[in-house]
Structure 1
C-alpha cells in the first residue's frame, strides 16, 4: 500500500526529530526524506514546518501511548519496566544510538512554541495513562500520578544519557532502581 505525501511527511518529521532534533530537521531534509514537494507540505500543513512537526509529535506520542496502554493492560506492574525500558534499549541498540525520543526533541524546540506545546501535551497524556495503570495496581491516586511522572522523567533522561554515552547502561540502571521503588509503592500481595 502506497502512503500519501501527508503520511510520508509525518514519518520523515518523526525520524528526523528522533535523529537531529527539531532545529536539525531542516525543511529540505524533511521534504527529501518524505519524498514530497514543498507544495505538498503547504497543502497538508498550511503553517509549514512547525505545523508538520507539531502534528508528527502528536502522532509519535499517540503511538507510544498505545505501547504504554498495551504494557499496563497485559502484564503485572512488576513487568512494566522490563517492557518499556527493553523497548528503548532495543531501539537504541539497533540504531547504534543515533535515534532517540521524538518527544524530547520537540520539547527542546524553544523557538517553536506550538511544537513544544505538543510535546507537553504528549508528556501529560503519558503521565495520565501510566498513572491510571499504577492506580489500578493499587497505588493511591496522588502517588500513582506522581510516580508516573517520575517514571517518564527517568525513562526520558536515561534515553538522552544512553544516546550521549553510546551505552544502554543508563536505561538498565533506571529500570533497576524504578523497579525497587515500585515494589515499595505496591500494596502487599494478598496471600492465596
Structure 2
C-alpha cells in the first residue's frame, strides 16, 4: 500500500489521489487499509511521504558522500532527469506533492520534516566542504528549493532544461562559496 501511495502521489499529488485509486493500485481492500492505517488515507499518505523522503535521503547521502558539492548535486540532477524522462514526465517528487496538500496538515507536516532532513543532509556535506554552518544551512535550503522547483518546471514543460539550468547556476554558486574557503 505504501509503495502504491508513493507512486500515485508522484503522478497525481495528494488531492487527486483518491481512496479508491489507492485501493485499486495496491490491490487492497478497504478493511485491509483500515487494519494497517486506522486513520485511513491520510495516515497512509503521511507514512508514505516519510518513507519516500527517507529513501531519497539515503540517495542524497550516497551522492554527497566523498563528492564535491558540484559532483554530488550533479548526480542528484542526473538521477532526476532519468526519473522524469523514463516516466515521460509523469512522475514528480512525492514530497512536493505532499507539501501542497493544505487540506491534510499531517501530510504537509511530513513534507516539511522531509525537506528539513534533506536540508540537513546537504548542510552537513557543505560543512564538510568547508562552509560555516550558518552559510551551509542557507545554501542547503536553496539547493533543495532549486532542485524541487526545477522538477516541477520539467514536468510542466516536458523537458529537462530546467534541471540543466539549475545545475549550471548551482555550479556557479558553489564555485563562489567554496572558492572563498580555499
TM-score, normalised with respect to structure 1: 0.92
- The gaps in structure 1 that reach 5 residues or longer are 1-8
Counterpart contact for 1:138–1:187, Cα < 8 Å = no
What's 1:49 paired with? 41
Which residue does the alignment assign to 1:120? 112
CA distance in 1, matches of 2:80, 2:117: 19
* Range that drifts further, 113-122 or 70-79: 70-79
Match of 2:8 among 11, 16, 31: 16
User: 20, 24, 41: which is aligned to 1:28?
Assistant: 20
**Match of 1:149?**
141
Question: Which residue of 2 is the match for residue 5 of structure 1?
Answer: none
The 2-side partners of 1:185 and 1:75 are apart by 16
Give the Cα–Cα distance (whole angstroms) in 2 for the partners of residues 78 and 167 of structure 1.
Answer: 22
Partner SS, residue 14 of structure 2: helix
Contact 1:139/1:187 (8 A) holds in 2: no
Q: How many angstroms apart in 1 are the aligned matches of 2:110 and 2:15? A: 16
Partner of 1:137: 129
Deviation string, structure 1 residues 26-71 (Cα, Å, up to 9, x no partner) = 1011011111111110011000000000000000000110011101
- Deviation, structure 1 residue 74: 3.6
Residue correspondence of structure 1 range 1-192 to structure 2 within 5 A: 9-187=1-179
Is the Cα contact below 8 Å between 2:130 and 2:181 reproduced in 1? no
TM-score, L = length of structure 2: 0.97
Structure 2, unmatched stretches of 5+, are none
Cα displacement string for residues 129-156 of structure 1 (whole angstroms, at most 9, x for unaligned residues): 1101100110111110000000000000
Task: Please tell me the root mean square deviation across aligned C-alpha atoms, in Å.
Answer: 1.1
Give 4+ residue runs of structure 1 displaced > 3 Å after superposition: 187-190
